[in-house]
Amino acid sequence: SLLCHWVQHMDLPGPRWKKGKDGKDFASLAAANPMSAIVSELKASFISSKPVAILSGPGGSAVLGVGPEQAVILNRAAFGHAIENATAQKHWFQLSPEEVFYLCHALNCIRVDSLDNKQMSEIELWDYFRSGSESFPEMYKAYAHLRLKNWVVRSGLQYGADFVAYRHHPALVHSEFAVVVVPEGAEFGNRCGRLEVWSDLLCALRASGSVAKTLLVLTISSSSKCELSSPDCLEQLVVHERTITRWILQQCREQRCEPSRDEVNREELIIEKESVVFNHWGVILGFTVLSGLLVYRLKFRQ
């Protein structure tokens, strides 16, 4: 049987950290280098020079060229994918539309040029990405929502999702969530209604479970009537987080996890009490037997 429940603020399985050559996982390395600090370092490094990202075609992606030191910090912050090239003075990264707009709009640390080398404003860039993908407003809102919470966000296409979310750099940890973005509201038109059909929900749940990820549904709605034609709408869009997990009745009934410390202490206390009770009755029983033997011997002598 398969039952699903929508959960908010639930305890989910922890991250699956990758291991180094010494066999130890990278949890301590990630804790010593929080993603928030890395992104702040990237912003400080980029904001003075404002490296240029060049739009690379109708798909909406862009290519960003940076120096060697900036390439290191860009890779540490897990933005884009490095493109192999022969020169060591210039490093190139392929960026998704969401990454381009986040670096330009949220961090304000790069500038974007069109194919004819003209600098684009945020509104022009927004229109460009919307013309390439009608769903860009809700996809970017979901991407920015997770990034602002210091999750690393990558494309989830190979997992049947919109995004996948990592607790830290993908080189250190496996992704925890397969993210599906669900818009709600008249302004989103016919893009609404995702996962309302049971078969769609089941497919998404099965796909995420088969790759050891929790299905995270981000519902995008507006607090008031807004126009998606301008990036100003981002302030009015609201994100609701929900996780969907499988509830296997037999597993919950028969397969228990290791007991917590409180449970162990409680069991030890019960055993101790039972031992005390057992010793008490042992004394009484022994006294009764000895008394019976003494009475028997007195009767025998008489």
Residue numbers annotated as active site: 166, 174, 213
Scanning the structure block, which residue is given the tokens 């037997």? 289
The rounded distance, in Å, linking the Cα atoms of 93 and 179 is 24
CA-atom Rg of the chain in angstroms = 30
Cα–chain center distance at 163: 10
Distance set, CA 42 to CA 33, 46, 125, 210 (Å) = 13, 6, 22, 35
The rounded distance, in Å, linking the Cα atoms of 210 and 135 is 27
